Structure 1
């Protein structure tokens, strides 16, 4: 990373922290973009090492996503979207490398998309957790709920897609 990129990220982090806990970068009838400043060191891999503030973000993002779905009249998707948002944001906070986590929720006529950007080029892997393990099921849940999911070519963004139900007469 260049010195300019590092200082830009630090400036963005400072600006976001000083103006609000979460900054809504843009909202339209078709989508919502959130930028969440991290307070834990990047790439911890363990919930026990995450700051209390970072542990609160998945719940906050779930509530914000629920509000957006209600605005769109898609209350029926609240539970699956909240679960996907929670799992993807938790993974980004635990394993991400960037100073911020980006969350994008948008829709088309047929699909609802969730994108979570964490700044880490390491691609998440769909694992199999043992029955006694307390973690490791996040992507398996996303895989079971979403119509499809994947990772950007550079590894920094994990996304999933859910079908939007057809409008009832």
Structure 2
């Protein structure tokens, strides 16, 4: 199921901003979830569309591990696989196709839902496409669509989000 995001300008202003050339984790973020600011190692737009620089390639794996640690802290181990998949696909897309100097990642809970937001500074909206059986790319949003309850794009096109339901606690 796909839906359109309604992300306000106020929310956009609260997104993490780079303060150095390394990962930035906001103080107190563990209480609210995870907010990451990943400076791109190569200037946006210089490498070929759809390519990541060698030093940016480890980021999807790093973000998966950070997400897994946060889920374990919340005792939501049952969501590790779908959340890691969504984080990996959205961060990979942002690194490959984004045109901003930074990729922002948020993982947070709101009531009985878990949200992932990835911003990339590019107003180009992602497209849900069907990859051919021999294609090496083009399955990311199809996978997100399959495991998330809903997903969408911010009004300005610079971010993609998805929502997963938090399972009820077992007695």
TMscore range, shorter length: 0.7 to 0.9
| Unmatched tracts of structure 2, length 5 or more | 1-16
Show CA shifts across 1:70-122 (max 9, x none).
01000110000000000000000011111110000000231000000000001
Equivalent pair of 1:116/1:158 in contact (CA under 8 Å): yes
Distance of 2:98 and 2:136 partners within structure 1: 20
* Counterpart secondary structure, 1:52: coil
Match of 2:50 among 46, 52, 72: 46
TM-score, normalisation: structure 2: 0.85
RMSD between superposed Cα atoms in Å: 1.3
Which of structures 1 and 2 has the bigger CA Rg? 1
Please identify which structure carries the higher helix content. 1
TM-score, normalisation: structure 1: 0.86
Counting only pairs closer than 5 Å after superposition, residues 108-147 of structure 1 correspond to structure 2 as 108-147=110-149
- Corresponding residue for 2:20? 16
How many residues matched? 152
What is the Cα deviation at residue 32 of structure 1? 1.2
The structure, 1 or 2, with the larger RCO (C-alpha pairs under 8 Å, 6+ apart) is 2
Distance of 1:109 and 1:81 partners within structure 2: 17
| Unmatched tracts of structure 1, length 5 or more | 1-11
